Amino acid sequence: CVEKGKVSSLMCSYNAVNGAPTCANRWLLDTVARKAWGFDGYITSDCDAVANVLSPHHYVKTAEEAVAVTLKAGMDVDCSYFVGQHGMSAFDEGLIDEPLVDARLASGFRVRMRLQHFDPPGPLQQIGPSALCSPRAAAIARAGAAQGAVLLKNQNAALPLDAAALRSLSLAIVGPNAQLAKAIAGYYGPAAACSGYPTVLDAVRQRVPASVKVSFAAGVPSVLSTDTSMVKAAAALAATAAATILVLGTDLSVAMENHDAVNLTLSAGQLALVEAVAAAAAGKPVIVVTLTAVPLDLTPLLSDSRLKAILHAGQPSVQTHGVVDVLFGDASPAGRAVQTVYPVEYQRMVSPFDFNMRPGPSIWPRPDSPGPCTDSYVGPVLPSKNCTLGTNPGRTYRFYNGTAVVPFGYGLSFTTWSYSLISAPRVAHLDRLRHLLARTRDRTGAAAFPALTTVK
């Protein structure tokens, strides 16, 4: 991103690297980013990350020292009021000087110059909402939603659905995320979308012939609800439909700042809904679509033969039509899993505060320890009968020593492919690999070729 993409800004976050908070880490911001990678943009803090250098990191003793250590490390912009509140006193104490302030200002103004903020109106100033809401932009968003969808399961080629075969029949759309609107664009999505936030239910109704009766039932009120009083009605809908699309997952209640998921599974309410719908469908196609910003252990769904297909759509932005394009074969899935999806047991083995990548003993307590455990952020954790230290099973596809629910890079297609490597120099960039990709079934499709390199 920095060396090839020439990004104009970086953000230093809340965590520490090798004992130094990232916004106060000169090695990270200057030695690595600016000198080794050639970064020439500006570096902003995550909001309140400068204040965090003082507390809770306790990296320095005063607010003025926090201002000085972050500016000297190479942070240019404070996403907060901390530097504004304490910068002058840091200057008066001689902790910072004018050349340092000028250097920090120069980084931001250099980028503003590139953006023509101080020039007469030019091409960049002509880009407005009309350009963002153009047919071309909508088409790109729609294609992105289709290309990003990952087909996790497709038993007996249940997908794509045949819209023509559904003519004069009924289609059930079930699940709390079938009418998920703004959250599909993510926490940082636009406040007002160009044409609103079409839901999966909206997109399906627009795709199928008018003669198809499309019925909807939420089943459970929300993704976290334990209220299953509506499950029976949803199951009854699936019993009478020719096919059912179950739209499940998470929403912003567990996928935004200060709102984190507490486990890796679908809620008990959603799992009860899945069981009831699968039983009621009595062998008719049940297709699962997951809209989620967090990886979920879908083992019960992947192993359930009554659920014919599972399409992971993530957060498809403002064009859910791209997801429906895949469901009905107007687009071919070629997405690959961008995360290693761990089994639910993982969350009980290692603390989220353990950042070690490689497997091994942890200095942090197991999350399922009954406690109380001393917080090792302020003091050592000592094992006791109520506080068991965790074991890190490793992180990412490189170091995880267990069996992933969904491996990194996994993804099915509507057809099958064979891969043959023609040539690969021992030292090469990915764009110098030559490979042969051949379709082995008589069906058109798309494929993403996964390739990894090892840095020596």
Q: List the catalytic residues.
A: 46
By the 10 Å C-beta count (0-12 exposed, 13-18 middle, 19+ buried), 230 is classed as: middle
Contact indicator for 409, 394 with CB cutoff of 8 Å: no
H helices present in 58-188, as ranges:
63-73, 82-92, 98-114, 129-132, 135-148
Please state, in angstroms and rounded to a whole number, the distance separating the CA atoms of residues 217 and 220: 9
Which residue type is seen at 208?
V
Contact indicator for 411, 151 with CB cutoff of 8 Å: yes
Residue 158 phi/psi, 5-degree rounding, is -65, -30
Residue partners of 264: CB distance under 8 A and separation at least 6: 294, 295, 296, 297, 341, 342, 343, 344, 346, 347
Please state, in angstroms and rounded to a whole number, the distance separating the CA atoms of residues 7 and 112: 13
Nearest Cα neighbor of 373 from 361, 354, 352, 387 is: 387
Which residue type is seen at 335?
G
The string over 167-191, giving b where at least 16 C-beta atoms fall within 10 Å of a residue's C-beta and e elsewhere, is eeeebbbbbbbbebebbbbbeebee
Instruction: Give, rounded to a whole angstrom, the gap between the first and last alpha carbons of the chain.
Output: 20
